[in-house]
Structure 1
Amino acid sequence: MSVQSVKRRLAPSDIAAFKGVRPIVSLTAYTTPIAKLLDPHVDFMLVGDSLGMVLYGLDSTVGVTMDMMIAHGQAVMRGSRDACVVVDLPFGSYQESKEQAFRSAARILKETGCSAVKLEGGAEMAETVDFLTQRGIPVLGHVGLMPQLVNTTGGYRSLGRNDKEANKIRRDAKAIDDAGAFAIVIEGTVEPVAREISTGLRAPTIGIGASPACDGQILVTDDIIGTFNDFKPRFVKHFANLAPLMSEAFANYAAEVKARTFPSAEHTFQVKNKTA
C-alpha cells in the first residue's frame, strides 16, 4: 500500500530557499476571512503589529499588546493552510533582554501555532536574533524604517538619503543576516541602498517602500484594497478600491431598513401550513 504524502505548510526554510529562485510574495493578515482569501496567493502572511493602526485606530504600533498579537495570530492560523505565518513581536516584548525575547516568542509560537516571529532592530538586536534562532525560533528581521521607533525617529520618512543613514542600514542588515534571520524586511529605504543590500545578503530581503530588486515584497493588505485611507504612503498601490463599494452597500442597507423594504418575505422565516 502506498502512503500518500500530506501537503505541508510552507516553512521559514522554504522562504529562505526562494532567494535567487523567484520573488517572494507576502501580505499582512489579521483575521480569519482575509487569511482564507490570501492563502492561495502568498508565500507567507505577516500578522503585523500594524493591526494596531489598521484595526484598532491607534496612532502608532507602540500600543499593541502580546494578547492582541496572539488573538489575531490564532485567527490567521485558523484561516490558512498552505502559507507560512509570521507574527510580530510587539513593542516592549523583546527589547529588554534576549531572555525576555525568547519568552515572548515562545509564547507566540505555542499559543498561535505560527512558524516564526518578526522583530525590529539592527546591530543592537543581533545577539537576540542569534539567541532565538539557536533555540529553535525562526526570526524575520526588520531594518530601515522601524515603526516601533517612531517616537525616537520623529515620524515616518524614508531613510538612507545620506551616508550616515545608509551605512547604518547596511550594518544593521548585515548584522541581522549574520545572526541567522531567515529573511529580512527592508522598509522605507531609498532604492539604491535597498538594492545594494539585497545583493549582498545570504537571507532574502522583503521590500516595503524599498526596491524592486528585493527578493520579495510585502504590503499591508488593507492598503492595497483601499480600505485603510488614513494616509497613503508613496510605496502603496491600490490594486482595488473597495471602500466606496462598501460605503455604498452600507448606505443601501440603511435606506432599505428605513423604508421597510428589508427584510422582505424571502429573508424571513414563515410558518408552514399544516396539512390535514
Structure 2
Amino acid sequence: MSNVIDLTALATQLDEATLRHEAATQLTGQVALDLATAYRVQAEGIRLREQRGERRVGLKLGFTSRAKMQQMGVDHLIWGELTDAMQIEEGGSLDLSGLIHPRVEPELCFITRKEINGPLSLAEAGLVLEGIAPALEIIDSRYRDFRFTLEDVVADNCSSAKFVIGALRSPQQAIDNLGVVMNFNGRPVQVGSSAAILGHPLRALVQIASLLHQQERVLPAGSVILAGAATAAEALRPGLHVSVDISGFGRTTFHTGGAR
C-alpha cells in the first residue's frame, strides 16, 4: 500500500468508473486514506466534472441516522456535492444502463433563500430556507460489490448519482415526524418517518452549517440540500415507476428504463 497520495489519479479512477459505468477497486485498498484526504479526493472529482461543464447546485448529506453514525464510528454526518447534471426532471425517466448498481432512497430536500455563512441553531435553521420538498436520491457507489469504508464513500462523493425534487412547500410546515412511503409500481417497498433524519430533519441543516463554517465555506442562496435518507435504500431495475409519498407534504416520482 502506497503512502504517496496522488489526488488527481484517485479522483480520475472514480470519474472514469462513473463515465464507463464500470465498478472500480476501493481506494483504501490502494493507499492509506484518512477522512480529510478523502474529502480532497472528492473535491478533485468535482473539479473534473466542472471541467466538463457541470455546475455545483448544492449538497447531499449522509449518515443522518444515529444508528448509521454509530455503525461507522463517526459523530457527525458526511456530505457530497450535487451538480446540475445529476438532477432528473420530476416525473422523468432514468436510464439505468448509465449506472453501475443504482439504489434509491426517499428524502426531504431543502432549498435555501439566503447563503449559509455560519453556524445555525435549530430555531434559526428554518429561517434560511425558501422551501422544503419531497425528494428521491439515486445512489450508485462506484466500488465493486457496493463495498466501501467511510473514507472510500467520502472520496466517491458519498455515492451520489442522481436526484429528483418535488414541489416546494412552506419552510414553516412541521417536518419532524412525517410518514414516508416509497413505492415501486404503486406498491410500498419502504415505510418510515422523517424523524429518522437525526430525530428532526432540520438538525441535519444545523450540523452541515457547523461543518461548513469549520471549513470557512459559504453555501450560496438557492442551494439544494438533500437532508438524508428517511428509510433504507432499495435496488433499482428497469420498468419501475418510483414514487415517494410524504404524509401531508407531497410526492415526487420518476421512471426507470434501460437494460441491467
TM-score between both structures, scaled by the size of structure 2: 0.27
Q: Which has more radius of gyration?
A: 1
Relative to its length, the structure with more strand (as a share) is: 2
Q: RCO higher in 1 or 2 (8 Å CA, sep ≥ 6)?
A: 2
TM score, norm. by length of structure 1: 0.26
